[in-house]
Amino acid sequence: MRNLTFLLLLVFVPLSLAADLLHWDQLIIFMTSALAIVPLSIGLSTATEKIAVFTGPSVGGLVNALFGNATELIIALVALRAGLVDIVEASITGSILSALLLLLGLAMFSGGLRYKEQEFQPILARVNGSSMTLAVLAIALPTLVTYTSNMVDATAIHNISIATAAILILIYGLTLLFSLKTHSYLYDVGIAESIETEKEKSATELWLWIGILLISTLAVGFESDLFVGVVESATNGLGLTPLFTGVILLPLVSDFAGYITVIRLATKNKMDLTVATATGDSLLIALFVAPVLVFVGQIMGQAIDLNFNPFEVFALAIAVAVTNLVSFGGRSNWLDGILLLATYLVLAIAFYYHPV
């Protein structure tokens, strides 16, 4: 059934190309390209997982670190090149909210329907929660400086953003050292089992998955170009603001593969791996993707910084606080999932009605 759905969604890849070449309505191009990104992101995510299994925990961890959120990064880079800075900045917030509330909420809810209570390592949640709290505080600094000072020029905010981005990337490097080297035993849950299952596979299959990874990456880039080319006009036609588009709509499209992954893991009672996946996604966005976009924007001549809308900062603080409270005890059930999903829904409604 899953493979059939994947194949059906792949139809939208040539369909979106036809819609663009034949100059169909922009809303049709928007919808077909968005649907085309879904199976491509699933293919990219699957290839990343398979390569990680073949190459072992250390190299595999680096592969996951680099390609774990490739779809989000590709869409953001294409949008940044197109000058959609407001949407790109909002998508950073949206991807973090999606990982902390939607991904983890779906996992806890779906797993809780099958198991009365599920357990995961509290130290894993604590370490990732602390890192995420630091990341959100760092991201919020330019906004706090702007709204607590009588007069701050754009250059000062940009310089703060550059310095903060450099520190965040350094912190991300240290979290990789922590998870892949000094405390790898906390993150190896489920990897040994996968390696045992896959160890008989041939090197030919490894190259096959590398090929799929490269093709999926290129295809996501192509579809992202179509998607970004019409996203502004299409969402304006639907009455959606750039803030809502970036915070809610883009993460729903770009991280669809993540939703499938965490639900699959949670229903197999692999909650350590589920929590590591969801919180790892949020850390990757906050500590790596956001700083990279700041530096790439500098190279492209696009003025992107970490000066977010105050409500975005408030929403991030809520998400981190709720996630830390829910995961603090190292246990979860379906109600915990509902609480996270409800928080995401309430914030989504607020972003929908938030004035530009």
- Per-10-residue mean pLDDT, the chain, length 356: 72 93 91 92 85 68 72 91 90 93 95 92 81 87 83 81 92 83 66 48 78 92 93 89 92 87 89 84 89 91 85 93 88 94 96 86
Residue 37: predicted pLDDT: 93
Q: How far is CA 185 from the centre of its chain?
A: 24
- Quick check: 237 and 87 in contact, CB under 8 A? no
> What's the N-to-C CA distance of the chain in angstroms?
42
Q: Closest by alpha carbon to 280, among 65, 117, 71?
A: 65
Give the single-character DSSP code of 268.
Answer: T
Which residue type occupies 235? T
Q: What is the count of structural domains for the chain?
A: 1
Q: pLDDT for 260-308, tens place per residue?
A: 888 988 999 988 888 888 888 888 899 999 999 999 998 888 878 888 8
Tokens, residue 265: 């893991």
Angstrom distance (rounded) from CA 15 to CA 29: 9
> What local confidence, expressed as pLDDT, does residue 185 receive?
67
pLDDT of residue 195: 47
Q: What is the pLDDT of residue 343?
A: 96
Q: Note down the domain range covering 247.
A: 2-353
Residue 193 is predicted with a pLDDT of 47
pTM of the model: 0.90
Per-residue pLDDT, 138: 87
Distance CA 274, CA 303 (A): 36
Note the pLDDT of residue 315. Answer: 95
